[in-house]
């Protein structure tokens, strides 16, 4: 039964590794290795509409993204705007204390966001860039108007606009505003105003729609994010977080949508709501369009050709909000908010309900959020994220002390009777049934539960997996130093010292356990930890610090309990 208990633990461990590998394949846009879905992804050219959208063939240039009541389509890059006399198309750079933004006077679209206080992990001399429109990257935020009747034309994100307003947030100022004004199209003029605040990654975006014609108009406002399907540059292949669009509504809460499901028209999300947001999510950063609660909106996700050289381009998340009829001479204003920045949980919670969920903890969110809260509290005292991780693991080990004590006590008892079990197995090796009966008799006489060391440990597994995701997802770890040579807890150890220490502590833990009587199990007891340790050579330093701390505390507790129970710790080295 002693080896059965270990077998169960290794089966749980091995199956977890299988699931992690399988999800890594899926997150990287590949076919699942162990649980492949049937069928092949549909080609972009043949992809039908998802939600309330209709996707044309690649290169058609006029992707249809409109609500059921809309007769006008949101134009693609090939659509020419009606001829108007405006200033030449140009890119406008706007600077605040935390943002460097680039706007395009064609539609007043936001085509680049640079975070001037966050360094690029691959090149510390450069800032982090999220939205960008280059040969190798396509990720932009757009908005405009479409009509509800056939033939109605309104200003869109392809309409040339003139710009007015400040370009730089000066010392002593807390906000700046920049406006983009369209010419009259269809009797309608659109003024799009971005208001940026000091220290903020979100901005108010006001759309003022003026009817300068002689008849009433009923336009609809669309807000959209268009992004290529590539993973963030520099993301490790050994751990993969979600990259793709997300939809949040009060009814269905947070809904992640894989790029592959959009291609295959298998995306499942709420398509009509009067609250929530659309977002594009990646490791550490996100962008999102927000509308006020109570504003009805249609939501769609589709594939679109933007004429970019970027492979597998592009995916579009859109919200369309119908507006009331605007009488001649009247102006209708609709407020929105746009966010592009790091996934700082406290900040996201203040912007909109559910926006903090773009920081994805997976299915263990209910455990991860309290762990993150506790980690932040510890950091407020220690002022160092590395030592805060150590402190959090210490507190968790204290919280689970009695469970661990029961597990190690059971293992100590098993170790104490192990010589008697080994002698019996050797004596009755030709009588399996009698061996089993004799083993159960020994367990009854010694009052040992062979599963007593397994269940207390299994209960703790979800907590430590949740902590793993907290450390993997928290942007606070980016460029956060610990001590000595560890200058970035989100990056692998440059000298591989921490992974080596982690491997040694794992081997020490294995050596402290009695060797299984079965030779194959004895080999697995050593091979599996070594294979698992190899992965940590490519993991962020913060995660390795967490595992080392947990290993050292577990070894110390096991050593103390074994000594108290009169079972001196012994090192059982492998025999291959």
User: Cα–Cα distances in Å, from 212 out to 141, 147, 220, 222, 444?
Assistant: 27, 16, 17, 21, 92
What does the alpha-carbon distance between residue 182 and residue 163 come to, in Å, rounded to a whole number? Answer: 9
What does the alpha-carbon distance between residue 168 and residue 453 come to, in Å, rounded to a whole number? Answer: 63
**Number of helical H runs and strand E runs in the chain:** 11, 21
pLDDT of residue 208: 98
**Phi-psi group of 209: left, alpha or beta (phi > 0 → left; psi -120 to 50 → alpha; rest → beta):** beta
pLDDT of residue 306: 84
For residues 39 and 557, the model is more confident at: 557
Helices (H), 191-290: 259-263
Q: Tokens 């050292």 map to which residue? A: 552
pLDDT of residue 15: 52
Domain ranges of the chain: 46-354, 372-564
Please name the helix (run of DSSP H) or strand (run of DSSP E) that holds residue 527, with its range, or none: helix 519-535
What does the alpha-carbon distance between residue 3 and residue 261 come to, in Å, rounded to a whole number? Answer: 43
For residues 435 and 299, the model is more confident at: 299
Give the orientation angle of helix 2-27 with respect to helix 519-535, to 10 degrees: 30
pLDDT of residue 283: 92
For residues 575 and 143, the model is more confident at: 143
Six-digit token string for 480: 């956060």
Six-digit token string for 575: 């025999």
pLDDT of residue 534: 79
What does the alpha-carbon distance between residue 248 and residue 250 come to, in Å, rounded to a whole number? Answer: 7
Q: Which of 5-9, 162-166, 233-237, 467-471 has the lowest mean pLDDT?
A: 5-9
Q: How many C-beta atoms surround the C-beta of residue 243 within 10 A?
A: 21
What does the alpha-carbon distance between residue 267 and residue 272 come to, in Å, rounded to a whole number? Answer: 14
pLDDT band at residue 36 under the 50/70/90 scheme: very low
pLDDT digits (tens, 9 = 90+) for 483-501: 989 999 988 899 999 999 9
pLDDT digits (tens, 9 = 90+) for 182-203: 999 999 999 999 999 999 999 9
- 326 secondary structure, DSSP code: B
pLDDT of residue 421: 73
What does the alpha-carbon distance between residue 307 and residue 222 come to, in Å, rounded to a whole number? Answer: 21
pLDDT digits (tens, 9 = 90+) for 332-355: 999 999 999 999 999 999 999 999
Six-digit token string for 241: 């977080």
Average pLDDT, rounded, for the chain: 81
Q: Percent of the chain at pLDDT above 70?
A: 73
Across 169-178, average pLDDT = 96
pLDDT digits (tens, 9 = 90+) for 85-124: 556 889 999 999 999 999 999 999 999 999 999 988 778 8
Q: How many C-beta atoms surround the C-beta of residue 504 within 10 A?
A: 13
pLDDT of residue 189: 97
What does the alpha-carbon distance between residue 519 and residue 506 come to, in Å, rounded to a whole number? Answer: 20
Q: Which of 9, 17, 51, 11 is nearest to 34 (CA)?
A: 17
**Per residue in 90-107, is it b (16+ CB within 10 Å) or e — as a string?**
eebebbbebbebbbbbbb
pLDDT of residue 37: 39
Please provide the DSSP assignment of 400-451 as one string.
THHHHHHHHHHHHHHHHHHHHHHHHHHHTTT-HHHHHHHHHHHHHHHT--TT
Please provide the DSSP assignment of 70-93 as one string.
--SPPP-TTPPPPP---PPP-EEE
pLDDT band at residue 455 under the 50/70/90 scheme: low
For residues 460 and 361, the model is more confident at: 361
Q: Helix (H, G, I), strand (E, B), or coil: what is residue 478?
A: coil
Phi/psi for 246 (5° steps) reads -140, 150
Phi/psi for 517 (5° steps) reads -70, -25
What does the alpha-carbon distance between residue 128 and residue 203 come to, in Å, rounded to a whole number? Answer: 18
Q: How many C-beta atoms surround the C-beta of residue 254 within 10 A?
A: 18
What does the alpha-carbon distance between residue 117 and residue 102 come to, in Å, rounded to a whole number? Answer: 17
pLDDT band at residue 82 under the 50/70/90 scheme: very low
CATH number of the domain located at residue range(s) 46-354 in this protein = 2.70.98.90
Across 290-313, average pLDDT = 88
Q: Which of 243-257, 259-273, 521-535, 540-554 has the lowest mean pLDDT?
A: 521-535
pLDDT of residue 570: 65
CA quadruple 104, 105, 107, 108: dihedral, nearest 10? 70
Across 252-272, average pLDDT = 94
Q: Percent of the chain at pLDDT above 90?
A: 50
Highest-pLDDT range among 74-83, 451-460, 537-546: 537-546
Do 117 and 103 meet the contact criterion of CB atoms below 8 Å apart?
Answer: no
Q: How many residues does the chain have?
A: 576
pLDDT band at residue 65 under the 50/70/90 scheme: very low
For residues 528 and 306, the model is more confident at: 306
For residues 74 and 283, the model is more confident at: 283
pLDDT of residue 44: 32
pLDDT band at residue 508 under the 50/70/90 scheme: confident
pLDDT surpasses 90 at 244: yes
pLDDT digits (tens, 9 = 90+) for 119-173: 887 788 899 999 999 988 999 999 999 986 666 799 999 999 999 999 999 999 9
């Amino acid at each position: 039964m002693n080896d059965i208990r270990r077998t169960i633990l290794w089966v749980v461990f091995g199956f977890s590794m299988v699931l992690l590998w399988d999800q890594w394949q899926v997150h990287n846009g590949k076919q699942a290795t162990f649980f492949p879905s049937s069928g092949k992804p549909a080609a972009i050219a043949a992809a039908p509409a998802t939600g309330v959208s209709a996707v044309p063939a690649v290169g058609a240039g006029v992707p249809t993204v409109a609500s059921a009541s809309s007769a006008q389509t949101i134009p693609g890059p090939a659509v020419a705007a009606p001829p108007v006399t405006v200033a030449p198309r140009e890119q406008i750079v706007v600077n605040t204390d935390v943002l460097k933004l680039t706007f395009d006077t064609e539609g007043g679209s936001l085509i680049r966001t640079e975070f001037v206080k966050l360094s690029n992990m691959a090149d510390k001399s450069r800032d982090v860039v999220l939205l960008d429109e280059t040969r190798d990257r396509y990720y932009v935020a757009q908005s405009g108007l479409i009509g509800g009747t056939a033939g109605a034309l309104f200003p869109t994100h392809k309409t040339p606009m003139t710009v007015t307003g400040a370009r730089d947030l000066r010392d002593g100022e807390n906000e700046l505003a920049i406006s983009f004004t369209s010419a009259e199209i269809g009797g309608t003029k659109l003024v799009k105003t971005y208001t940026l605040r000091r220290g903020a990654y979100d901005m108010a975006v006001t759309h003022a729609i003026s009817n300068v014609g002689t008849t009433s108009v009923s336009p609809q406002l669309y807000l959209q994010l268009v992004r290529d399907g590539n993973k963030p540059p520099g993301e490790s292949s050994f751990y993969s977080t979600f990259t793709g669009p997300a939809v949040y509504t009060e009814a269905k809460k947070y809904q992640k949508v894989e790029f592959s499901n959009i291609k295959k028209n298998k995306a499942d999300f709420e398509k009509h709501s009067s609250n929530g947001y659309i977002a594009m999510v990646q490791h550490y950063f996100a962008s999102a369009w927000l509308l006020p609660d109570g504003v009805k909106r249609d939501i769609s996700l589709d594939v679109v050709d933007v004429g970019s050289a970027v492979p597998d381009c592009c995916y579009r998340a859109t919200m369309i909000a119908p507006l009331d009829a605007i009488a001649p001479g009247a102006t209708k204003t609709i407020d929105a908010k746009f966010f592009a920045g790091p996934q700082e949980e406290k900040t996201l919670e203040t912007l909109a309900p559910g926006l903090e969920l773009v920081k994805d903890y997976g299915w263990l969110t209910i455990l991860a959020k309290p762990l993150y809260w506790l980690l932040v509290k510890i950091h407020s005292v220690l002022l160092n994220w590395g030592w805060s991780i150590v402190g959090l693991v210490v507190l968790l080990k204290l919280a689970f002390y009695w469970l661990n004590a029961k597990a190690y006590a059971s293992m100590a008892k098993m170790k104490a009777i192990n010589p008697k079990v080994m002698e019996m197995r050797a004596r009755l090796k030709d009588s399996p049934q009698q061996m089993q009966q004799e083993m159960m008799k020994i367990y009854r006489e010694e009052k040992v539960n062979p599963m007593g060391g397994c269940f207390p440990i299994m209960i703790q597994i979800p907590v430590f997996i949740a902590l793993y995701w907290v450390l993997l997802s928290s942007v606070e770890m980016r460029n956060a130093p610990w001590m000595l040579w560890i200058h970035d807890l989100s990056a692998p150890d440059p000298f591989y010292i921490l992974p080596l220490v982690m491997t040694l502590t794992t081997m020490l833990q294995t050596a402290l356990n009695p060797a299984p009587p079965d030779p194959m199990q004895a080999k697995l007891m050593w091979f599996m930890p070594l294979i698992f340790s190899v992965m940590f050579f490519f993991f962020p330093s913060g995660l390795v610090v967490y595992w080392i701390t947990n290993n050292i505390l577990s070894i110390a507790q096991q050593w103390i309990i074994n000594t108290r129970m009169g079972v001196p710790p012994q090192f059982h080295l492998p025999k291959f």
